[in-house]
Structure 1
Amino acid sequence: MSDSITVTGIVATTPRHLVTSSGLAITSFRLASSQRRFDRVKQTWVDAETNWYTVSSFRQLAHNVVHSVQKGEHVVVAGRLRIRPWENADRNGTSVEVEADTVGHDLAWCSTVYTRSPPTNASAPQPAEQPTDGFLPADAVADAEESPQAPAEAGAGMLVGVDS
């Protein structure tokens, strides 16, 4: 089953980042999504059940997620829903996963600062001076914004959360 889904929730685990032997970057985390509703009888807001998702991101998005998203933050995730049954010797269950196309902070809960990230593809042009933290220097960001390159050539965007 492969359906598109958009989910809002709280990052429940520290994002786990790895790079495979073939160079594929993967970042994953657990997302808790709870619904709230107003109980007219009690005249108060109540929490409904919590849905749990494993969110996986790949390539440039994986690099941006690991640098931008932290446990406890409110995020919006859009991607493809994957529901798979599993079993081992002791138990069985169902895995609910979202293969993310987009991950961003939920601006109803915080504000963010946009920082352009460098391309991670080895064949892509790299800036002359590459900082060790993986972010472009401020002057390189200004140069990239002034250049006529397409956004994909200039590097994908990254959001950094700032709690309000």
Structure 2
Amino acid sequence: MNETIISVVGNVATQPVYRELATGPSARFRMAVTSRYLDREKNVWTDGHTNFFTVWANRQLATNTAASLNVGDPVVVQGRLKVRTEVREGQQSWTSADIDAVAIGHDLARGTSAFRRTKQGEALTPGAGAPSQPEPNWETPPAEPAAQQRREPVAVT
């Protein structure tokens, strides 16, 4: 019961990927969250560091997410934060920050949205707002061995 519940405001960075699993619908997308601060010396707002989260949605939230969100949409996400660190054979360790979403919505401070209530058991068409795209490869490519990184000079004639 001791979970870290967070609310984040940012932009959809990748098109939601929708899947039908044995446990029910599931969707995920990457979200970019950039801090902004007032630079008092220049008197202008400045972008700070950008954090990326993988947002996971399940059941009806997954179906509605896939049908409603597109890359670049401003969103507000609330859910459980899960930080994972893994070590894979032959690679450096990596850390992932995931959000198991409870609620997702458009950020109405930055635009308008037309809400449409779904009826009980109604299935919207996932990705109806955007063309279907292949699932992105979110894995970090392994580093090349040192021997392959050296470049041999090429003679130009």
TM-score by length of 1: 0.71
SS of corresponding position for 2:41: coil
Which residue in 2 is equivalent to 1:139? none
**Bigger fraction of residues in strand:** 1
Q: Equivalent residues in 2 for 1:97-112 (5 A)?
A: 97-112=98-113
Q: Identity, % of aligned pairs? A: 35
The whole-number CA distance in structure 2 between the counterparts of 1:29 and 1:5 is 17
Residues 1-150 of structure 1: matches in 2 within 5 Å?
A: 2-20=3-21, 22-89=22-89, 90-120=91-121, 134=124
- Alpha carbon RMSD of aligned pairs, Å? 1.8
Give the partner amino acid of 1:26.
Answer: S
State the SS of the aligned residue for 2:65.
helix
**What is the letter of the counterpart of residue 115 of structure 1?**
R
Q: Name structure 1 gaps, 5 residues minimum.
A: 121-125, 127-132, 136-159
- Matched residues in 2 for 1:87 and 1:79: separation? 26
Distance 1:76 1:30 in 2: 13
Contact 1:118–1:134 (Cα < 8 Å) also in 2 = no
Alignment length (residue pairs): 124
Rounded to whole Å, the distance in 2 between the matches of 1:7 and 1:95 is: 16
Counterpart CA distance in 1 for 2:70 and 2:49 is 23
Structure 2 segments unaligned to the other structure (5+ residues)? 130-157
Spell out structure 1 runs of 4+ moving beyond 6 A: none
> Taking structure 2 as the reference length, what is the TM-score of the superposition?
0.74
Distance (whole Å) between structure 2 residues aligned to residue 23 and residue 79 of structure 1: 19
